[in-house]
Amino acid sequence: MSQGDILQTMKAGAEKVAAVVTSAGSLEEAISYAVNLTAEEGGTTMAAPGMDDAARKALATACADKGIILLESPLRAHMTGIHTAFTWADRGIADTGTLVLNSDSEELRLATMLSETHVAVLPTGNVVPNMDALEGYMSEHFEKGAGYVAFITGPSRTADIERILTIGVHGPERLHILLADHVDGGEK
């Protein structure tokens, strides 16, 4: 399977579970997308754990231009007020449209679980066809000892005993995935 086919499968898999998938050609484009989306949704706050200093500075400027507050650490102080989480995904699993995030950072866990909208930048070279192809990455990750890895497939959804589906109860109501060829800004 070519990388182009893998990316098409990723897009289709993610869209099946109600994620929005688009491309970002640059860091500036990814930041603009996240900030504009937040403003369009009426959001006033963003959290961006794990961003390097240059990317965070660019994001802070873009947020200020739209009247959006870029939340600072510790995010525990903002647990009820994170509109948008802006993160980098470590891997993508194409056949299920799943994001894989090394979530050892509590800041990242809080942002991705408590925000209303999650915008994740996924480097296209880090998308694998299926879970089996993720084995090397997972083995390497767990050789370092205990840790947290989040597998995110679409927005949060749950159903009760009567099978009534509710979106956003245990995590974000909306997930946007930005497929990026050469976008870097995460501290990995």
* Residue 33 CB partners (closer than 8 Å, separation 6+): 22, 24, 119, 176, 178
Domain ranges of the chain: 3-180
Q: Is the pLDDT of residue 140 over 90?
A: no
Query: Each residue of 34-86: pLDDT tens digit?
Result: 999 999 999 999 999 999 999 999 999 999 999 999 999 999 998 889 999 99
What angle do helix axes 27-40 and 53-66 make, rounded to 10 degrees?
30
Tokens of 48: 């961006």
Helix (H, G, I), strand (E, B), or coil: what is residue 12? helix
CATH architecture of 3-180: 3-Layer(aba) Sandwich (3.40)
Backbone angles phi, psi at 120, to 5 degrees: -120, 130
The answer for residues whose C-beta is within 8 angstroms of residue 151's C-beta and 6 or more apart is 93, 98, 99, 100
Tokens of 136: 């090397």
CB 64, CB 109: distance < 8 Å: no
DSSP assignment letter at 161: T
- Alpha-carbon gap, residue 56 to 102, rounded angstroms: 19
Q: What is the pLDDT of residues 89-123, one digit of tens each?
A: 999 999 999 999 999 899 999 999 999 999 999 99
Residue-wise DSSP of 39-103? HHTT--EEE-TTB-HHHHHHHHHHHHHHT-EEPPSPGGGGTT---EEEEE-SEEEGGGTEEEEE-
Mean pLDDT of the chain, nearest integer: 91
